[in-house]
Structure 1
């Protein structure tokens, strides 16, 4: 009897292991997973990303389909490359895919997910999104800053006109970057931080470094045991330095506004009302003080939201303008058609105001076409599934990383006629828009995690482009032909070389 018990105890672990193994194998074999390219040990499919991940993943999708399951190091990753698959993720199962994965660099730079773009899905994120939609980036708020935008665009046009006196080409890339930064600074802070202003050089440098770091691939997020590499290559030190210096800069800004609001407060101690034209820091401080939303926010939340405005609103806005002007210079027919519309709308006025933009249908079509070919975030901001789900017949496990290839969707030949051609006319008699309802054009994402700042960005884009083509004719330096314009890109949707052009006043 004792011997039998000893035998049972001896073989029980083995029997249990075999039982669990069979159960796991049965469970695994019944799962239908999306197609996957071959992968390497440790790396998985990371080696297949190349210098242009959106292009590489588009090529893989053409072979393996619009839903692919890759492995980036230790992380299962779903690649979405068609409008109907994107609709499944961002509409049908939007709640399941509304979480953001934790990325160490973004966490460090964006206050550990206290901003709206990277915050985990939950009550805090809902509160921050509500503040953005209702108080910071509502249509009413965006319109309230029309005078600031028009003033900045007028100064921008004046600087270009000065260059015409010397017949010198202007660096549109540099000037557009400065313009969008100045507009965002005035809206967010109430003052500019241009390179020549007090604190401007510091701010410009910090913002450039921040955007650079947010675009860095961090191997430690996908292969955790290689995280030590960042200490060797200096990446960890760079992130730590920028996070500390940017926090110090923003902290000083917030403190200045607190002092200013105290001096300007009403006699009863309440902060100025909503009708007063506040900059965004003032608005957030009013929300914090009066709890007008029922949401308690601290100083870190304020700094994180303001940082979001710059990270999403400055760099991406000027990139769209840069590519739009690039395509206009490369397509004289399109340039002429837009100029005719702008000059017809202006009807002899010195400039085009925001009130005129509603009638500029070709301009709106041109911006849609630019966003189709050059989405600011070609793979959008990644999502993460929070539970097991079935997508188009495939089983997707909880914790799967999701990248939606907006660049590939915008160039899908089954969706678009001659997809590589720049033809704004395709949108003139089309209801397709970029606001998250039409999944063949989703440069700003869609669903709960869609970008809340679309109106802010598009209004600036329209006003700048309308005045650039209204006030000037344009040519390439040295009499270069339009077809010779260098359109090459760096590792993301960024021009590899600055855009230079000669402006010829239209008067």
Structure 2
């Protein structure tokens, strides 16, 4: 699997020139204090903050993100380290890209980072930010509402079938495993899943390589916290780049390779206790439907692989697949997967 690369468009000298030019233009209007041009210098915002890229006035690093922000943030982590500081517009932001940093932040400071920032978009689209994904932490959120979506299930199935088609050895092993364990049944049921350990390893590997939400919804610090050697003030939002964590070579051997066997005889799970694998988030703001969501995905895969043999259409080769990602809140494949299903007798 090819590792995406990001080419940054400006050198540091060019950035500094652009920053000073923008500041001078704003000062000439007399609105520099209102627009916060000197905010970082006057308030000491960069005192012992994590490293990160140069931020432009007003827009910060928004111009860098493009259509695949998880890839850009992963590249910035390779340049600056597993915890970085950026400004997205006027929003100060820390990004965590390693299991160690995610654990220190979200386990040691779970309560302090349990809230969400209220934005105009979430106010309008999610009932005044009362949807469980965007509600600030407090009495209303703790009333623990139930929500799940078919979108993330579909995304996981799509990426999973894509990887299995591209890796026929893993496909055959999964099908043989399921059919030998289940025997002859019209329908696999949830009670059968506990026997399907290799299928569970396949699902974990899909979650690792292709989390439906590659960057978790942001946490908001409600008080000052210390993470590693850095002091993080209150009101900074935290992004966890689970895509980068799942491909971090410090946590995984051959991280770009689809290899379900890495989870056989491994205690690593996706329920929020192992920070190497966080497709459903962690802590107070983790997905409340982890168990239901995982069982839905496993059950769908089990029936698809049990009842059908899968092939590509004539003339199509796995190496020709376009694996380009399209990112919204969730991460779809750009191209639709077209395969031929043949009933298994």
Q: Indicate the TM-score class for this superposition, using the shorter chain for normalisation.
A: 0.7 to 0.9
1: distance between equivalents of 2:313 and 2:153? 25
Structure 2 residues not aligned, in runs of 5+: 1-39
Q: How does 1:362-441 map to 2 (within 5 A)?
A: 362-441=198-277
Contact 2:181 2:196 in 1 (8 A): yes
2: distance between equivalents of 1:446 and 1:390? 19
In the alignment, structure 1 residue 453 sits paired with structure 2 residue 289: yes
- 1:349 to partner: Cα distance: 1.9
- 1:467 to partner: Cα distance: 1.0
- Closer/same/farther in 2, CA of residues 352 and 30 from structure 1, 3 Å limit: closer
The residue aligned with 1:487 is 323
1: distance between equivalents of 2:163 and 2:139? 43
Contact 2:97 2:245 in 1 (8 A): yes
The residue aligned with 1:506 is 344
In the alignment, structure 1 residue 98 sits paired with structure 2 residue 119: no
Secondary structure, counterpart of 1:490 in structure 2: strand
1: distance between equivalents of 2:335 and 2:41? 53
- 1:30 to partner: Cα distance: 9.3
The residue aligned with 1:162 is none
Higher RCO (CA 8 Å, separation ≥ 6 residues)? 1
Q: How does 1:53-452 map to 2 (within 5 A)?
A: 53-127=69-143, 129=144, 131-132=145-146, 309=147, 312-452=148-288
Instruction: Report which of the two has the higher share of helix.
Output: 1
Q: 4+ residue runs of structure 1 moved beyond 4 angstroms?
A: 24-27
2: distance between equivalents of 1:352 and 1:491? 33
1:190-212 deviations in Å (ceiling 9; x for gaps) = xxxxxxxxxxxxxxxxxxxxxxx
Query: 445-454 vs 349-358, which deviates more?
Result: 349-358
1:454-487 deviations in Å (ceiling 9; x for gaps) = 1111111111111111111111112422222332
- 1:445 to partner: Cα distance: 0.7
- 1:41 to partner: Cα distance: 2.1
Correspondent of 1:42 among 47, 58, 63 = 58
Query: 345-354 vs 449-458, which deviates more?
Result: 345-354
Structure 1 residues not aligned, in runs of 5+: 1-23, 133-308
Contact 1:90 1:97 in 2 (8 A): yes
- 1:26 to partner: Cα distance: 9.8
2: distance between equivalents of 1:314 and 1:411? 25
Secondary structure, counterpart of 2:250 in structure 1: coil
1: distance between equivalents of 2:265 and 2:119? 41
- 1:389 to partner: Cα distance: 1.5
Query: 27-36 vs 351-360, which deviates more?
Result: 27-36
1: distance between equivalents of 2:244 and 2:190? 33
- 1:397 to partner: Cα distance: 1.2
- 1:25 to partner: Cα distance: 7.7
The residue aligned with 1:20 is none
- 1:27 to partner: Cα distance: 7.6
1: distance between equivalents of 2:265 and 2:150? 31
- 1:29 to partner: Cα distance: 8.8
1:250-295 deviations in Å (ceiling 9; x for gaps) = xxxxxxxxxxxxxxxxxxxxxxxxxxxxxxxxxxxxxxxxxxxxxx
Q: Please give the root-mean-square deviation of Cα atoms over the aligned residues, in Å.
A: 1.7
2: distance between equivalents of 1:30 and 1:376? 33
Contact 2:219 2:239 in 1 (8 A): yes
In the alignment, structure 1 residue 28 sits paired with structure 2 residue 44: yes
With structure 2 as the length reference, what TM-score do the two structures score? 0.84
1:303-361 deviations in Å (ceiling 9; x for gaps) = xxxxxx2xx42111111111111111111000000100111122122232222111000
Contact 1:332 1:482 in 2 (8 A): no
2: distance between equivalents of 1:476 and 1:26? 61
Secondary structure, counterpart of 1:500 in structure 2: coil
Contact 2:204 2:263 in 1 (8 A): yes
1: distance between equivalents of 2:202 and 2:80? 32
With structure 1 as the length reference, what TM-score do the two structures score? 0.58
Secondary structure, counterpart of 1:69 in structure 2: strand
